[in-house]
Amino acid sequence: MEHSYDAIIIGAGPAGIFAALELADRKPQASILIVDAGRAIRRRTCPARINGQCVHCDPCSIVHGWAGAGAFSDGKLSLSDEVGGQVSDYLGHKRAMEYIGKADQIYLRFGANETVHGLNDRRVEEIAYEASRHNIRLVPCPVRHLGTENAGPVLGAMHDFLVEKTHTTFLELTTAEDILCEGDSVVGVRLHQRGQEPFVAKAPYVIVAPGRGGAKWLTQQAAKLGLRTQNNEVDIGVRVEVPNAIMDRLTGDLYEAKLVYYSDTYENKVRTFCMNPGGEVSQEYYEGGIAVVNGHSYSDPAKHTGNTNFALLVSTRFTEPFNQPIEYGRYIAQLGNMLTGGPIMVQRLGDLLMGRRTDADRLKKSTTIPTLSTAVPGDLSFVLPPRHLTSIVEALKAFDHLAPGLYSRNTLLYGVEVKFYSSKILVDNRFETAIKGLYAIGDGAGITRGLMQASVTGMAVADDIATKG
């Protein structure tokens, strides 16, 4: 069986969704096929989020399905090209910001929260000055917060619009087995929908946006097609949890404080990520049953907790011959799971500094009440490399100047937090690969690291296709 379309999109995360939205807007009669290995948004459920137990769903709903990993995320839209990827390296600062503004309006159109945090320029400048005095860089970044309860519905509304109002077809539980080429041009994709016979879908344009769940597949396809790749950074660290009062000075104006510090001992880059005032620490599972720590917060104040959490990540860019950044991150995460018997590990900062394991009795004495009740007390020094752990401790000590009390014995550290960034596919400034008509975008292509910039790459590709007729 063979089908023909004007464009095929592999992956229904924000990058793929926004590619379809923009293409349908620019070319209303265009026939678009979107495929994803996961399920439709309203059929995505994760048992581990309900009972804390991973049952190894196939496919995993955390990273597969309509809306991608964004469906279960905190839903932060970073309104700066400095945060969430490297789109400005391809588009330039001016064009990148234009796309961010346009994408933001689309999110609003489909139900995003109208409040934007971090617009008090005077207060932001004051915090930035104070940070610079302690060798910390504050990355100014206004943030629109969808909230954990709203991210899925907003992206789900985009599905309804595309399927009902445009010439877009969405196939769930459908894997792309191979990208098909003739000469130096793409011609289609060999697809397999669960329970059906494999078939070929033809199109002059194929947009590959597999997200983090499809990063490994894309790397394999790149090797088959002879596409060049480049190592990306590997981000490994912990999730920090403290009472709201300690972080209010930063989160009150910024909501999410993007802080960057270079460690004293190793000069490794250490950065904050995914800050959640009044939020909860969560446990997420990836394919293979690997448990990693994450965090989120609701938009509804009634659902807020007394704590703030954020990731503290150490960035490392390995050189050749290393070419397995995802496998390295998985290895560290597996080591943490091994020591806890599966769940996330938690340790008081004071115990870590004293070189001792946090046990149940010591955790009970903490003035910071953990929001992840299933976390197992332990010793992160047996999990994280000394280089990473030292850099994290030094960063916390520096950040204490901005948020007094952060460098406290009762600060909780959960591990491991890992960001699975794929190897970067080499593309031109339109995100087109060396194969004509084949584009690679979003997190799965190693270009972006969040909702907004992933959305931008989709829009940019759609614009390029529209200009080609």
pLDDT band at 328 (very low <50, low <70, confident <90, very high): confident
Whether the CB-CB separation of 333 and 379 falls below 8 Å is answered with no
Bridge-based pairing state of the strands 307-316 and 234-243: antiparallel
DSSP letters spanning 66-96: TTGGGGGS--EEE-STTSSB-HHHHH-HHHH
Q: What is the pLDDT of residue 52?
A: 65
- β-partners of residue 239 are 311, 414
Alpha carbon distance 57, 66 (integer Å): 16
Which of the residue ranges 65-79, 121-135, 339-353, 441-455 would you say has the lowest mean pLDDT?
65-79
- At 277 the pLDDT is 96
Q: Are 312 and 395 in contact (CB under 8 A)?
A: yes
Average pLDDT, integer, range 326-342: 91
Q: Lowest-confidence range among 89-98, 126-135, 439-448, 456-465?
A: 439-448
So what's the pLDDT on residue 11? Answer: 96
DSSP E strands in 100-214: the ranges are: 116-117, 136-138, 143-145, 168-171, 174-182, 185-193, 199-202, 206-208
pLDDT at residue 398 tops 90: yes
Write the single-letter amino acid at 74.
Answer: D
Query: Above pLDDT 70, what percent of the chain?
Result: 98
Query: Mean pLDDT over residues 439-452, rounded?
Result: 92
pLDDT in tens, 51-63: 767 777 888 777 7
How many other CB atoms are found less than 10 A from the CB of residue 411? 23
| Residues facing residue 286 across a β-bridge | 290
pLDDT digits (tens, 9 = 90+) for 71-120: 777 788 999 999 999 999 999 999 999 999 999 999 999 999 999 998 88
Give the pLDDT band of residue 176 (cuts 50, 70, 90). very high
State the pLDDT at residue 42: 86
Tell me the per-residue pLDDT of 422-431, one tens digit each, with 9 for 90 and over.
Answer: 678 999 999 9
Nearest to 332 by CA among 345, 321, 322, 319: 345
CA distances from 335 to 215, 276, 416 (A): 22, 26, 9
On the question of pLDDT at 295 being above 80, the answer is: yes
Span 2-114+143-230+424-467: which CATH code? 3.50.50.60
Is the model's pLDDT at 41 over the cut of 80? Answer: yes
Model pLDDT for residues 197-229, shown as the tens digit of each residue: 999 999 999 999 998 788 888 888 999 999 998
Give the whole-angstrom CA distance, residue 40 versus residue 38.
7
Question: Could you tell me where in the chain the CATH 3.50.50.60 domains are found?
Answer: 2-114+143-230+424-467
Over residues 329-358, mean pLDDT: 96
For the beta carbon of residue 189, count every other beta carbon within 10 angstroms: 25
pLDDT in tens, 399-408: 999 999 999 9
Could you tell me the pLDDT band of residue 44, with boundaries at 50, 70 and 90?
Answer: confident
Percent of the chain with pLDDT over 90: 74
pLDDT in tens, 264-290: 999 999 999 999 999 999 988 777 778
Of 315-329, 390-404, 416-430, give the lowest mean pLDDT range.
Answer: 315-329
For 313, residues 6+ apart whose C-beta sits below 8 A from its C-beta are 235, 236, 237, 270, 271, 272, 273, 417, 419
Average pLDDT, the chain: 92
| Statement: residue 394 has pLDDT above 60 | yes
Q: What is the dihedral of CA 348, 381, 269, 151, to 10 degrees?
A: -60
Instruction: Note the pLDDT of residue 151.
Output: 86
Q: How sure is the predictor about 396, in pLDDT bands with cuts at 50, 70 and 90?
A: very high
For residues 408 and 349, the answer to whether their CB atoms sit within 8 Å is yes
Name the least confident of 19-28, 61-70, 147-156, 218-227.
Answer: 61-70
Confidence of residue 2 (pLDDT cuts 50, 70, 90): low
pLDDT at residue 146 tops 90: no
